[in-house]
Amino acid sequence: PPNAIQLQSAGSQSTLAPLPRPPDVQNPPSHSWASLCGPPSWGLSCLLALQHILVLASLLCTSHLLLLQSLPAGGLSFSPAQLLASSLFACGVSTSLQTWMGSRLPLVQAPSLQFLIPALVLTSQKLPLALRTPGNCEHRAKAQASLVLRLCGGPGCHGLELWDTSIREVSGAVVISGLLQATLGLLGGPGHLFPRCGPLVLAPSLVVAGLSVYREVALLCFTHWGLASLLIVLMVVCSQHLGSCLLPPRPWRPASTSSTHTHLLAFRFLSVLIPVACVWTVSALLGLSIIPGELSAPTKAPWFWLPHPAEWDWPLLTPRALAAGISMALAASISSLGCYALCGQLLHLPSPPPHACSRGLSLEGLGSVLAGLLGSPMGTASSFPNVGTVGLLQAGPRRVAHLVGLFCVALGLSPRLAQLLTTIPLPVLGGVLGVTQAVVLSTGFSSFHLADIDSGRNVFIVGFSIFTALLLPRWFREAQVLLSTGWSPLDVLLRSLLTEPIFLAGLLGFLLENTIPGTRLERGLGQGLPPPFTAREAPMPQKSKERADQEYELPFSIQNLCPCIPQPLRCLCPLPQDFGNEERGPSEPGEIADLLPDFGDQCPQPSRGESQ
C-alpha cells in the first residue's frame, strides 16, 4: 500500500522497527506563495483577477466572433460592444453567486464554447435553402474571417430583420438552457450522477475538452503566427523557466531578514499578464492592428449603460430554440461538472460533494437565464481556460474570483470599457486560449492514474470515448448531406448533440463505465481523495475532512436558513454530519485551499498579517 510504513531489521533478533522519518523537505521555490502564506494581498489579488479577465476575454471575443461570422451578411441594430457588455454583466453576477453560495470553488463563469455549437446549428438552419450547403454550414463559417458586419439602424438595411430574429432566437435558446440547468440542480440530478462519474468518465471528458478547441485556437493564431508564437514562448518561460524566481514585493525598499518569506513568485503569478502586455505593445509598435471588424463599430459605444431585459427585444422562444436549449443545457452541465472535478484536483481537494454540485449547476442556470434575458447570445458556464489558468499560476484564492465578478459587472455597465477587450489582437487571444487549454488537457491525462489503466476494460473505455467524441463532430462537419429528419427542431437537437465533443465523451464514458463489469478498485472508485492529497493527509484524516467541509460548505449566514428550505430542495444543503465543527466558525470569504495545501501551516502567523 502507498501509505505503508517501511520497516528494517534492528539488532540480532531481526525485530522490525520503523525507519526514521525523513526530514521535512524545504519549501521548493516553485511552490505557490499563496499556499505558503495564506491569501494574497489585495494588490496581488487584483493582478490575478486581471489575468482571469484576459482569459475570459479570449472566450468572450472568440465565441461572439464565430457566431457573428456565421450569420448572413446584414446589419446590426445595436453596437456589438453592447452584446459584449451584456455577456460580461451576466458573467460577473454568475461568478459572484457561484463563489459565494454555489460550488464555493474559485470558478470564473464565462461564455462557454458549449453554447456556441448549438447556436451555430440554430443560425445555419435558419439560412435559406440555397445557402445551407455543406460549404456554408456552421463549421465552415468559422474559417470565413472576411465577413465584416455593418452597424445598420435604418429601415432600408437588408438583412436587419433576419439578424435581429436570429440573435433573439439564440437568446431564447440560452434562456431555455438556463431554466433546464437550474431545474436539474434544484432536483439534485448532478448530486446523484456525479458520484458515479469516476476517473474513466472525467478524464476522457477533460482530454476532449482540451482538444476540442484546437481549430478555434488555430484560426485565431493564423492571423499572425509570429505574435502568437512570441506570446506562447513568453508564457512558457514565465510560468515554467522563471517560475521559481523569488522577487520582493517592494523591490525599491531594502530587504528585511524578517520578511524574506514574503517574496513573490512574480513571473509565475503574472505569467499571463506580462506576456500579453509585451506582445500587445510589440503589436502596437509594429502597427499591426489585428482586430476583428465584426466586433468593432463605426460609432462609439456609451460610457455608461444599465443592462436590463428587453433592451432590444424579448428573446424569441420557438420549437427550434427549445431543441437548441436542450442541447446547450446537457453539454454545459457535463462541462461544468468536469470543471468542478478539475478545479478540485488542481487545488488538491476531495471531489465536490453532491450538494455543492447541485448548487453550482443551479446558479449557473440562473446566470444563463439572466444572460438570455439581457439579449446575450451566449450563456454562462464554468470556464475550462480559467481553471487551466489556476493550474498555470498555481494560485486559486476565492478572493480573486470575487474580484473577477466585480470587474465583470463594472465592464458590463460600461460598453466603452468592454469594447477595449476587442482591441486585443486575435493572435494574443489565440495564444492565451491555447496555453490554458493545454493545462486542461494535461490534467485530464494525469487523471488516468487514479484507475487501473493497464486493465483491458479501462483501455477500451478511454480509447473509445475519446476517439468517438472527436470523430463524430468531424464527420458531420465534412458530411456532404446534412442530417434531415423532416422536422427542423429534431434536426437542430440531433445535430447539436452529435457535434458536441464534450457531451459525447461524457455520455459514452458514463454509459460504458456503468454498464461494463469491473471492480471498484479497477474503476478507481472509493478513493475519496486523490493519491497525493491522501498520502499527505493520511495521518490527519479528521483535519483533512474538516478542511474539505470548510471549503464546500455554505456561508455561515446561509447555513442557518437550511432548516427552513422545503424538503424537495434539501439536496442543496449539506447533510447534518457535513456541517463540520461549529466551533471553527465561518470561513473567511477570501480563503480557499491553494495548490500544495500541506505547506499552508508552515507560514508564521505574523507574515499573514503582513501579506494582507
- Cβ atoms of 307 and 83 within 8 Å: the answer is no
pLDDT-derived band at 468 (thresholds 50, 70, 90) equals very high
What's the whole-number mean pLDDT along residues 40-58? Answer: 90
Does residue 488 sit within a domain?
A: yes
Q: What is the pLDDT of residue 158?
A: 43
Coil vs helix vs strand at 63 = helix
Residue 600 maps to a domain:
no
**pLDDT band at residue 364, thresholds of 50, 70 and 90?**
very high
What's the pLDDT score for residue 531? 41
Amino acid at the residue 440? V
Write down the pLDDT at residue 5. 35
- 208, 246, 462 from 201: Cα distances, Å: 11, 39, 8
What percentage of the chain exceeds 90 in pLDDT?
Answer: 33
- Whether residue 524 lies inside any domain: the answer is no
Most confident of 311-315, 411-415, 586-590: 411-415
pLDDT band at 373 (very low <50, low <70, confident <90, very high): very high
Name the more confident of 594 and 384: 384
pLDDT of residue 594: 42
CA dihedral 276, 284, 68, 433 (to 10 degrees): -20
Question: What residues pair up with 204 in beta bridges, in sequence order?
Answer: none
Binned at pLDDT 50, 70 and 90, residue 451 comes out as confident
Residue 590 has pLDDT above 70, yes or no: no
186 to 306, 322, 357, 451: CA distances (angstroms):
30, 20, 10, 31
Global pTM value = 0.79
Q: What's residue 552's pLDDT? A: 78
Q: What SS3 class is residue 9?
A: strand
Q: What is the pLDDT of residues 249-287, one digit of tens each?
A: 654 455 444 444 566 777 888 899 999 999 999 998 888
Residue from 441, 437, 430, 439 nearest 229 by CA:
430
Identify which of 343, 409, 406, 403 has the alpha carbon closest to the alpha carbon of residue 370. Answer: 409
Query: What is the C-alpha to C-alpha distance for residues 151 and 253, in angstroms, rounded to an integer?
Result: 53
SS3 110: strand
Specify the residue for cell string 455593418.
Answer: 150
Confidence of residue 36 (pLDDT cuts 50, 70, 90): very low
Query: In the predicted model, what is the mean pLDDT of residues 489-510?
Result: 92
The residue among 42 and 173 whose pLDDT is bigger is 173
**Which pLDDT score, from 0 to 100, does residue 312 have?**
73
Of 447, 520, 388, residue with least CA distance to 202: 447
- More confidently predicted of 291 and 356: 356
Could you say which DSSP state residue 241 is in? I
Instruction: Compute the half-sphere exposure of residue 429: CA atoms within 13 Å on the CB side of its CA.
Output: 25
pLDDT at 382: 92
Q: Which residues are CB-contacts of 391 (< 8 A; sequence separation ≥ 6)?
A: 346, 439, 443, 595
Q: State the pLDDT confidence band at 304, using cuts at 50, 70 and 90.
A: confident
CA–centroid distance for 396 within its chain: 13
- In 35-157, DSSP assigns E strands to 75-76, 109-110, 150-151
pLDDT tens per residue across span 150-200: 334 444 444 445 566 788 899 999 999 999 999 998 888 887 888 788 889
Mean pLDDT of the chain: 76
Average pLDDT on 18-23 reads: 42
**What are the cell numbers at 251?**
523591490
Residues 6+ apart with CB under 8 A from 459: 453
Q: Write down the pLDDT at residue 547.
A: 59
Residue 555 belongs to some domain of the structure: no
Rounded Cα distance, 375 and 296, in Å? 18
What digits encode the pLDDT tens for the residues 557-572?
Answer: 676 667 667 666 666 7
* pLDDT, average across residues 39-55: 88
Residue 15 has pLDDT above 90, yes or no: no
Q: Read off the pLDDT band of 480 (50, 70, 90).
A: low
Within 8 A by CB and 6+ apart from 79, the residues are 151, 297, 299, 301, 415
DSSP 3-state assignment of 182?
Answer: helix
Q: Are 109 and 95 in contact (CB under 8 A)?
A: yes
User: Residue 324: is its pLDDT beyond 90?
Assistant: yes
Residue carrying the nine cell digits 455554505: 554
In a domain, 544, yes or no: no
pLDDT at 153: 42
342 domain-assigned? yes
Cell numbers describing residue 129: 435553402
- Report angle CA 303, 284, 271 to the nearest 5 degrees: 85
Cα(105)–Cα(473) distance, integer angstroms: 31
Residue 143 lies in a domain: no
HEC profile of 495-547: HHHHCCHHHHHHHHHHHHHHHCCCCHHHHCCCCCCCHHHHHHHCCCHHHHHHH
Residue 8 inside a domain? The answer is: no
Residue 215: all three cell numbers together: 481549430
Q: What's the number of domains the chain is made of?
A: 1
Hunting for cell 454509459 — which residue is that? 511
Domain that holds residue 367: 39-126+161-247+264-290+316-515
Cβ count near 516 (within 10 Å): 13
**Parallel, antiparallel, or unpaired for β 381-382 and 109-110?**
antiparallel
**The pLDDT of residue 409:** 94
139-163: burial string, b at 16+ Cβ within 10 Å, e else: bebbeebebebeebeeeebebbebb
The closest of 441, 419, 555 to 96, measured between CA atoms, is 555
CB 279 within 8 A of CB 430: no
Lowest-pLDDT range of 96-105, 138-147, 465-474 = 138-147
DSSP state of 597: G
- What integer pLDDT is reported at residue 339 of this predicted model? 92
- pLDDT 10s digits, 50-86: 999 999 999 998 888 888 877 765 555 667 788 889 9
> 108 or 162: which carries more pLDDT confidence?
108
